[in-house]
Amino acid sequence: MATTPPIMEQAPDRPILILGIETSCDETAAAVVRLDGGSPEVLGEVISSQFDEHKAFGGVVPEIAARAHADMCDNVVRETLDRAGVTLDQIDGFAATSGPGLIGGVMVGMMTAKALAMATDKPFIGVNHLEGHALSPRLGEPVEFPYLLLLVSGGHCQFLSVEGLGQYKRLGSTIDDAVGEAFDKTAKVLGLGFPGGPAVERYAKTGNENAIKLPKPLLDRPGLDMSFAGLKTAVLREAQNMELTEQALSDISASFQKTICEILTEKSRRAMRLAREELGFEGEPGFVIAGGVGANTALRNALKTLCEEEAFSFHAPPLKWCTDNGAMIAYAGAMRFKAGQASSLDLAARPRWPLDEAAAEANPVFGGGKRGAKA
């Protein structure tokens, strides 16, 4: 059940500075955002990657990630403040990802932000990592509410109607694997390296996208739900049945990427028409792609073309804010702070935290589990 954050006595009627910390996966990141009216400005940010720690395993190892966050978080915060040219006393509040994510890492960031809040007697704001992604395009340009959001990352793939801060309506979701996971597993099967998404995109540039016919699960059914588990299996079978020359690797990568683009483009078209016909979107509403997979150039181009066809304006965060970062957490925290909201210091970390909790509880798209709805 969703809980309402505590209300502060009064949000200051002046520009505010929020320090945001992001530790949900394998980046230890922090940023200071200045919010003056509705316009955010990133004063300084640091992203410390754990690429070398996880490369040998072909994916993120949660225990290694948590230890790396614990080692790096204080230094990342200190360097972020230095780059922003501000002191702790000048910060109005401290925001941190409180879920969803790898629980060990989430706890590191939260405890750091809570400690800073206690030491300075300033508010703490727990931020939903997905809300950070949902609002991230507004870091680079004005995007008016409501807008249609395609959130695509390593752990999430869903369509949402973003009607305002904290107002999110799930329209469709993957029923099994996220699209980012499909990219990562494809790269692992083909031996392309880690991280998988950029590796697949790099190989796809020299491949024949029509070389291999791959399935498009659920595309022949109505609705916005998606599935990528079968597509991963199909890639594995193709790889097992052919000699994996450099050209073959490029052809599989290009065919896989094209298939993903076609699935997401068609589902996005349906989402746009649903938004107009049933949700009351008028004029030239915004369509936003956010999350790590949103950095894929082929997907961006396909969706830009679709937006032109369907009379939607296309928006995406700058590439540096597509993947996990502290700026989006600081901005989401700043918006909460401006709305007079703060979190209790006993707020617990959440490995699962859907943006539309009511929909996730009433109609989970897959396994609820002991820790709450997954999607």
Q: In whole angstroms, give the CA distance from residue 140 to residue 317.
A: 6
pLDDT of residue 150: 98
Q: In whole angstroms, give the CA distance from residue 119 to residue 127.
A: 20
Query: What is the residue-wise DSSP string for 17-46?
Result: EEEEEE-SSSEEEEEEEEEETTEEEEEEEE
Cα–Cα distances (Å) from 237 to 138, 190, 212, 305, in that order, read: 41, 11, 12, 32
Convert the pLDDT of each residue in 233-277 to its tens digit: 999 999 999 999 999 999 999 999 999 999 999 999 999 999 999
pLDDT of residue 10: 56
For the chain, list the domains and their CATH numbers.
Answer: 16-136+321-362 (3.30.420.40), 144-316 (3.30.420.40)
- Residue 221's H or E segment, with its range, is none
pLDDT of residue 372: 38
Write down the pTM of the prediction: 0.91
pLDDT of residue 357: 85
pLDDT of residue 360: 82
pLDDT of residue 259: 98
Is there a cis peptide before residue 62, judged by omega within 30 degrees of 0? no
Regions in the chain scoring below 50 on pLDDT:
1-4, 367-375
Q: Nearest CA to 65 among 104, 31, 107, 113?
A: 104
pLDDT of residue 51: 74
Q: In whole angstroms, give the CA distance from residue 190 to residue 235.
A: 9
